[in-house]
Amino acid sequence: MIAIQASSLSLSFGDTVILKDVTFAAQDGEHIGIVGTNGAGKTSLFRLLSGAYTPDSGTVSLQKGHTLGVLEQNADLTALPGDMTMEQYMITAFPALLALEEQIEAVTHALTVASAAEIETLSARLAALNQRFADEGGLEFRSRARGMLLRLGFTEAQLTQTISTLSGGQYTRLALARLLATEPDVLMLDEPTNHLDLDALAWLEGFLAGYKKTVLIISHDRYFLDRTTEKTMQIQDGTAKLFHGNYSAAKLQMEAERASLEKRYKEQQKEIERIRKNIEFQRRCNREHNFVTIRSKEKQLARMEKIEKPKGPEKEIRVRFLSESESTGHVIEARDLSFSYGGKALIENLSFLIEKGERVLFLGPNGSGKSTLMKLINGLIVPQGGCVECGYNIKIGYYDQENRGLSESNTVFSEMRESYPLLTDLELRSALALFLFGAEDMDKSVRVLSGGERARLTLAKLILKKVNLLVMDEPTNHLDIGSAEALENALLAFDGTVVAVSHDRYFINRIATRIVELAPGTDRGMLDYRLEEYDDAYTEYLRLKEKKESLTRSAAPTEASAGKEEYEQKKREAAKKRGEQKKLERAAERVTVLEKELEALEEELFGEAASDYVRAAEIDRRKGEIEEELLSLYELLM
């Protein structure tokens, strides 16, 4: 049975077309992921489905008797009762059960003052109400509401906190908990993974995987989509297309479909060209039987169902971090590092050493001090105990998840000019173009930029800074899927050291060579996982974590033998060799990509860009970058 259906939906804002002729149906129990670049129209589609927007044309149909629940990405905090506690607000999600409770209390009170003649009737009434209350979940709805809050990262102490004191992230988690507790027939979630730590993410995945009703999810979290959806809708150029399978499966289908269409288009164009040349040849011959052939060929062209030229893949940011001169082997060392805020110890006695070339991901629950640690490494705040030191000749590039390094009073271009006064206008505009800032965006105020645009501007500034250590706090938070993948590819090609905090498990999977879990109270304030398999880093981390916990739970610890230590050392050496081999394989893949790009640029330089000196200069600059990178890659491979 169809749960919710859209028929020929179209929406425009002024002259800007957002969606055009979008048609799809979600069946009862289906879980559909909705993907597309920032600004593609995903949130607008949700607002049309929920009735918040009125379409220019088309209709939305919700199955009769079905309930609809929506989690908005940026909801209005002022719409909530600020004087209510979180626990009280959760309970308001169950008005029918609260009304039953009031009826039960009223009948119970009436029994205490009833006459003998009324007692039997009132007792029967009370028994019926109690039975109905139990049947409709009244015995557990309060504990279920509390459980939702606790599983989404709130502590027992926070449940009595009033809504007016919540941060934006806490409010989003509260709204998500309340919505899930009501279990609507059609559940629509817009970026539900924002502000969740890894434990809460894992719980939410399990909850949604077992959710028997219809779910529509907008998310840039590819790992989350893979585990919670069975179909994927791509919003592109205002249109929607549905693919069977989760994100990873749908991505392969999208790529195969595009390649097939491009092949068919090229083949048809060759056929059309051949027929036209045949017609031209017949005309030159100028004989009667030739005219018969000409008319036949012209009819063949007219009858041919033309394949529209495929649109290229959506524009993506093109990132390559410029590395500085060689650094020492010891890049960062922390010794007994401590930092407290508001009387709460965020980091306690943390000690670690990060070596050159490692890509270290720091994990931990919300509030465990991960962002604080990134600021301590970058020297933005001073430790209250212990120290953190960088090695010789370390040049740091820092990415702040809030993008606080941007000046609100600047334009996009003046923000770049202020940071790099010695570069030419062309160099600055070229760097911005790599991050999808067009000519019309250069004079846009930083103040009005979206979260995704601010993230891209911060990255544009970062690539021009020659560094050998990247310190990044949630770098994929505001990026769409294509941009996140471009960033991942750039970090894999970066020959320096990467230290990052992220909740994006797809990002962790691709990037991490080592995972450090902040764990106050342990020997060095952390649990260290050196990974043997880099291609599936997060899964490997979970395996090692379970193994470590299993060993802790099992027999009493014994003194490690020399033989066991030797065995572990051999395992580490083997893992290092596998890591080096993976690095060589990635370098070879990168060479192939760069050679193709270089060939395309040279073709463009002597073709379409021959009379465009601005584009020619951009191409010449990019060619130089590619040739420089290729030389370093060939040196590595040789």
- For 237-257, what is each residue's pLDDT tens digit? 899 999 999 999 998 998 888
Going by C-alpha positions, the residue among 212, 222, 221, 217 that lies closest to residue 233 is: 217
User: Encoding tokens for residue 522?
Assistant: 């342990």
pLDDT at residue 54 is higher than 90: yes
Say what percent of the chain tops pLDDT 90.
37
Give residue 464's Cα distance to chain centre: 24
**Are 359 and 469 spatial neighbours (Cβ–Cβ below 8 Å)?**
no
- Please list, in sequence order, all residues whose beta carbon lies within 8 angstroms of the beta carbon of residue 387, skipping any fewer than 6 positions away: 334, 335, 336, 337
Q: What type of residue is 544?
A: L
**pLDDT: is 580 or 354 the higher one?**
354
- Residue 298: what pLDDT? 82
pLDDT digits (tens, 9 = 90+) for 129-157: 999 999 988 888 898 889 899 998 888 88
Q: What is the mean pLDDT of the chain?
A: 85
Give me the DSSP letters along 74-120. Answer: T--GGGS-TTSBHHHHHHTT-HHHHHHHHHHHHHHHHHHT--HHHHH
Query: In terms of CATH, what superfamily is 1-67+184-245?
Result: P-loop containing nucleotide triphosphate hydrolases (3.40.50.300)
Angle at CA 577, nearest 5°, toward 576 and 579?
A: 65
- The pLDDT of 521-548, averaged and rounded, is 82
- The pLDDT of 275-285, averaged and rounded, is 78
- Residue 626: what pLDDT? 82
- Residue 66: what pLDDT? 95
**Are 480 and 37 spatial neighbours (Cβ–Cβ below 8 Å)?**
yes
Count CB atoms within 10 A of the CB of residue 157: 7
Q: What type of residue is 527?
A: L
Q: Which residues pair with 25 in a beta bridge?
A: 5
pLDDT at residue 387 is higher than 90: yes
Angle at CA 366, nearest 5°, toward 347 and 186?
A: 175
pLDDT digits (tens, 9 = 90+) for 494-529: 889 999 999 999 999 999 999 999 887 777 888 888
Please report which confidence band the pLDDT of residue 560 belongs to, taking 50, 70 and 90 as the band edges: very low
**Are 161 and 87 spatial neighbours (Cβ–Cβ below 8 Å)?**
no
**H helices then E strands: how many in the chain?**
19, 18
pLDDT digits (tens, 9 = 90+) for 590-601: 777 777 887 788
pLDDT digits (tens, 9 = 90+) for 439-450: 889 999 999 888
Pick the range with the lowest mean pLDDT from 1-15, 217-231, 381-395, 572-586.
572-586
pLDDT at residue 564 is higher than 60: no
pLDDT digits (tens, 9 = 90+) for 415-432: 999 989 999 999 899 888
- The pLDDT of 622-626, averaged and rounded, is 81
- Please list, in sequence order, all residues whose beta carbon lies within 8 angstroms of the beta carbon of residue 2, skipping any fewer than 6 positions away: 25, 26, 27, 28, 61, 63
Residue 318's H or E segment, with its range, is none
30-49 exposure pattern, b = at least 16 Cβ within 10 A, e = fewer: bbbbbbbbbebbbbbbbbbb
- Please list, in sequence order, all residues whose beta carbon lies within 8 angstroms of the beta carbon of residue 529, skipping any fewer than 6 positions away: 514, 515, 516, 517, 540, 541, 544, 545
φ/ψ (deg, to 5) at 44? -60, -40
- The pLDDT of 93-111, averaged and rounded, is 90
- The pLDDT of 406-421, averaged and rounded, is 91
**pLDDT: is 169 or 581 the higher one?**
169
- Residue 264: what pLDDT? 87
- Residue 570: what pLDDT? 62
Please report which confidence band the pLDDT of residue 166 belongs to, taking 50, 70 and 90 as the band edges: confident
- The pLDDT of 356-368, averaged and rounded, is 89
Give burial (CB, 10 Å; 0-12/13-18/19+) of 538: buried
* Alpha carbon distance 377, 468 (integer Å): 14
pLDDT at residue 375 is higher than 50: yes
pLDDT at residue 464 is higher than 80: yes
Q: Calculate the alpha carbon distances from 232 to 213, 247, 479 in Å.
A: 17, 6, 19
User: Encoding tokens for residue 213?
Assistant: 């009703």
Give residue 407's Cα distance to chain centre: 25
Please report which confidence band the pLDDT of residue 293 belongs to, taking 50, 70 and 90 as the band edges: confident
- Residue 559: what pLDDT? 47
Domain regions of the chain by residue span: 1-67+184-245, 260-303, 564-638
